[in-house]
Structure 1
């Protein structure tokens, strides 16, 4: 981070100077320095199985440029989730590499040189940035972006932005022991298709977006977590600014048993789950 450009921002308290907050949304009371570490990009590309190509740059003090904002080196690219690379295959042959990700050899040397606990940039060799969680990947995380919260499986588990993985004793495993629930996050979801469309609740290994019986009830945010957050904020604003007539109508709907609207807080909860998952993996690593 030597020479990295900085700016002031009111951010989460730094754990070394105080107790680590349970939620990164809880801000401090004074500005702190934030530094450039990562720049992400996404480009529409019809040649990609997901319709997008994602990439990450990271700050590189070795780049010879007087302008600090230009000192960036490419970490890698991702244009698919390598759904073929199941956990069983990886366990049987750890040398198998993703075919829909490319990691810059220089970035791989950086990762190895720090001798940290991060086994790869993204899950099982997929691409992810240095500030992102290694249990996920760029395309995996963004594929979860939808207008409303979505739930999967017969247990109706809320979809977070990262797979349900936890690190215990230096080993990363599914939170409930179900690898199928993890691999759901590494499907090649076509752009414009909701995350849960085509997913069979009773068999998470079955995926057919064209099956009308498995249609989604929500809209895709087309791999944009920013659009997802915008939708959530709009829904929350609408909820907090109802007229007396709208409030009365909603109350009568609930009274007669109509479907209650989805709580906008559930959308932000997905990001909270991601934060908690990332914090837990960092702490246990």
Structure 2
């Protein structure tokens, strides 16, 4: 199967009876095996080719002058395809044209059973509201529309041995949507009052100051509430980055369908404002009516750094495009903005702010590499789902959860920059593998704590 894009043709779908049928038969470590009841079955029957000659509803709207209208047009293509049923987010069976990424069901952050959610960055105290405490969790599931799904189909033609083209390029009209949920209390995060509730297998609660139990087998069925919906669109008018990213929040009190009717546009971004070191950004829009609701206090003075677009679940040191621009395979030594930039100490130091902006807030086109001087197989065109999928695949190879021949994608020495705690003998080698035997490699045989360290990879937001 070769998923070449044709603008005027539709050749059909490779139909698979279930998500399980699409999975690599040599993989035994899926995190979706933990917990009870039916497992989520989101679509993985990727289209071969799609018709892109009809313009999507957002194509006629200027995202700079009418950002909220643009975002609502994108959301209009999503809302008919998803529904809430029996405390689950489910597909509209008659019309559901959104596909998930494979290989997201591994590592300690891998998909949980009921809705296929992955564990995301947890909010810090004051991230979601002035009063939210530490220890809350965020879980999410993301999808691509048909044009975007063709790229996944071409790469994962053989899910056990995916192949990258020289350059990954999503076609124009690609759209991605991601639903984010949290167990944060509505008493502390008041805009969550009345939010739809869902049951998912997530990590157990822990006392303040204690390390959480993050092993998938320790997960428990708990209540999550819809927090945020992210969108990403490959739009040819976004000539600085090729992409437009946006975020909605769920804001109570509930109205209408109690789901999409409560989604309020929070921010939209079409560039990273490189070289802008103060709050004078002009390549982002942030909804001013949400000041004091999701940002505007001491711990959260802005959504994204110095007023760039982001959501309440996201790192205020970063932005939507900044985070996703790092997508490449293998990842470089800088993978996500973290606590190395201290908001209390560094934000008030001009040199540190300049260094931070110059490192993370560059306008990178989809066919360009973040950290171009570091070895890489390919760019990933802003797709952190592709990035995370490949990291998980190669991690499963190292730990022995993927048997048989080592995937070609995991063979290069450059891949080692993405993993921690891997011995020289076991790097990127699957167990029961003739190549590994020839190179005298051994499957992972470390302690449980070493295994946890390896499978608790700091994966960026997808």
TM-score (norm. length: structure 2)? 0.44
Give SS of 2:252's match. coil
Shift of 1:27: 7.4
The corresponding residue for 2:203 is: 12
Shift of 1:14: 3.4
Residue 334 of structure 2 is aligned to residue 159 of structure 1: yes
Task: State whether residues 324 and 383 of structure 2, in contact with CA within 8 Å, keep that contact through their aligned partners in structure 1.
Answer: yes
Residue 252 of structure 2 is aligned to residue 61 of structure 1: yes
Query: 1:105-148 CA distances to partner (integer Å, 9 max, x unpaired)?
Result: 222342457x4520101001101101111010000001111121
Residue 316 of structure 2 is aligned to residue 134 of structure 1: yes
Task: State whether residues 7 and 35 of structure 1, in contact with CA within 8 Å, keep that contact through their aligned partners in structure 2.
Answer: yes
Runs of 5+ in structure 2 lacking a partner? Answer: 1-191, 404-429, 442-452
Q: 1:76 aligns with which of 267, 277, 288?
A: 267
Query: 1:221-279 CA distances to partner (integer Å, 9 max, x unpaired)?
Result: 21111111111122233443234421123338xxxxxxxxxxxx88963428x8xxxxx
The CA distance in 1 between the partners of 2:459 and 2:251, in whole Å, is 28
Q: 1:119 aligns with which of 291, 295, 301?
A: 301
Q: 2:363 aligns with which of 173, 188, 192?
A: 188
Give SS of 2:379's match. coil
The corresponding residue for 2:434 is: 245
Shift of 1:195: 0.9
Runs of 5+ in structure 1 lacking a partner? Answer: 91-95, 151-157, 198-213, 253-264, 275-285
Q: 1:244 to 1:59 in 2, by over 3 A?
A: closer
TM-score (norm. length: structure 1)? 0.68
Q: 1:67 to 1:22 in 2, by over 3 A?
A: closer
The CA distance in 2 between the partners of 1:27 and 1:106, in whole Å, is 42
RMSD, aligned CA: 3.2
Residue 240 of structure 2 is aligned to residue 31 of structure 1: no
Q: 1:85 aligns with which of 266, 270, 276?
A: 276
Query: 1:45-72 CA distances to partner (integer Å, 9 max, x unpaired)?
Result: 1221110000000011146324334311
The corresponding residue for 2:288 is: 105
Give SS of 1:194's match. coil
Shift of 1:21: 2.5
Aligned residues: 227
